[in-house]
Amino acid sequence: MAKGQDTEDEDEVESRRQVIKRQRRAAGNRSATVARLIMELRPPAFRDMKLSVEVREAGERARNTTSLGARRREERRLAGVLRNFDLGDVEAQLQEQERSGRADARLFQRAEAWRVRLLEEGQPAIDDLHSELVGLDMAHSQKLVSDAQHERDFGGTKGTAKELFRYLMTALRAQQEE
């Protein structure tokens, strides 16, 4: 009977060991995932993150490495540094970066669609724009569209289509924040 009890105790020890091993592996996978996401961020997004000095330095070193093998090694080093910190805050910042990036992309697409429509349709599109974005200066909108159409058709001063796009982005952002 004592022999059977020893076997059960060994099974329990192994299962505890396996649980610890699984937890350690999961923590390693989590930090490796966060490290990979940090490496994939665009430079402005990485600069905006609030990271500890140690994590920021490891991240910058890893992001600036160009050789594939060295880059992988630096990514693993960054993951190791991240294991010493609370990943919840870093993951939350990464999720916020992703959300704002998607929102910016949608806003960009919407502004570009309006710009194209304004240049093609002219006054009817301006009227629709002003009914959707209440509070815009009608005269300024008409002048921007007219100048951009003139640039498109005859050449002349460059940048009026870009100016129209920036105007639309500003107006759409203001509407989004309301």
Q: What is the pLDDT of residues 33-85, one digit of tens each?
A: 889 989 888 888 888 888 889 999 999 999 999 999 999 999 999 999 998 88
Domains and CATH numbers, the chain: 8-85 (no CATH), 98-177 (1.10.60.30)
User: What pLDDT does residue 1 have?
Assistant: 47
- Identify the pLDDT of residue 5: 52
Q: How far is CA 157 from CA 87, 119, 163, in A?
A: 51, 16, 11
Which residues of the chain register pLDDT less than 50? 1
* Cβ proximity of 164 and 118 under 8 Å: yes
pTM of the model: 0.52
Backbone angles phi, psi at 135, to 5 degrees: 105, -5
- What is the distance between the alpha carbons of residues 176 and 162, in angstroms, rounded to a whole number? 21
The answer to whether 110 touches 133, Cβ cutoff 8 Å, is: no
Task: Give, in order, the Cα–Cα distances in Å from 172 to each of 134, 165, 177.
Answer: 11, 10, 9
Alpha-carbon torsion 39, 45, 46, 49, what sign?
A: negative
